[in-house]
Amino acid sequence: MQKILVARPIFPDVIERLKQYFDVDWHQGDVLPADELTRRLADKDGALTAGDPVGAAALAAAPRLRVVSNMAVGYNNFDMAAFNAANVLGTNTPDVLNESTADFGWALMMAAARRIAESEHWLRAGKWQKWTYDGFLGTDIYGSILGVIGMGRIGQALARRAKGFNMQVIYHNRSRVAPEIEAELNAEYASKQDLLQRADHVVLVLPYTKENHHTIGAAELAQMKPTATLTNIARGGIVDDAALVEALRTKQIAAAGLDVYEGEPHLNPDLLTVPNVVLTPHIASATEATRRAMANLAADNLIAALGEGPRAGRPPNPINPEVIGKARS
């Protein structure tokens, strides 16, 4: 029986499903240190991860390893050059989290714009004594301009929600989406500079790559309106968190909502010192239905890639399909 490593705690019923096909080594504790992950991959044919870094050293120490299934859409935790060189397949879990992530992005944007977290903390501290006309004045969502950077599946889901708020949608993407999608979303393509200057609410939904590192830094924040908000539900590293702290502290922008951070689960401690930011611990896809769908899709990818079940050899979501059928090198 082929051996797999499940590197994170996941739903026990998904583990039972995997046990129908594999000898499962299930890690149920905290995130595995890199050396322990490498050690436990050494005799495995496959692995299921959830953001765990897998690079050349781990692949070299695991000569039987044929596939690593990531329980996430993003896969910047994989060294894909090393995967391709070793003919190891990587897979991910797109689509199943689009709507729940878009819901959360909307919630985070609204919480930042309407100062919900800031006012709740103030209330809990016992500071609310009376109503005032200027208490916690925020910025409107309805009728404003939504700027989406990264118009993929989740970006499009966000833009669809803007219709109910009578928002103008502008977007920036590596390339323009099809005209019919622009028409459906009533979305206008804009340069990044134009988007930053015009948008009332900027939402980041682009993948992390070396080229996208610090897509939003001090220069970009300086271009935004002082009444604007910034929401990041994409990946840490897309925003220069230190520059964002300064922009929030000086009211260069009005507020921000962050679900992801540079170096997470650690975060820049200065983020905790500014009141006009809403902070959540990477939970944009955290509904039970969505996380179950992600776990089962990750299992589907693993089962199929290792030649078991009805999709043998044809996983639903390969990242590097060009290595399928090639011998491990």
Q: Annotated active-site positions, please?
A: 235, 264, 282
User: Of the candidates 269, 274, 265, 40, which has an alpha carbon nearest to the alpha carbon of residue 257?
Assistant: 274
Distance CA 274, CA 115 (A): 12
User: Of the candidates 284, 315, 310, which has an alpha carbon nearest to the alpha carbon of residue 298?
Assistant: 315
Distance CA 14, CA 296 (A): 6
User: Of the candidates 115, 69, 93, 104, which has an alpha carbon nearest to the alpha carbon of residue 234?
Assistant: 104
Distance CA 216, CA 234 (A): 12
Length of the chain: 329
User: Of the candidates 52, 62, 109, which has an alpha carbon nearest to the alpha carbon of residue 257?
Assistant: 109
At 239, phi and psi to the nearest 5? Answer: -110, 140
Write out the E strands in 50-173.
67-70, 89-91, 145-149, 168-172
Q: Which two tokens stand for residue 71?
A: 């329980």
**HSE value, Cβ hemisphere, 13 Å, CA-based, for 260:** 23
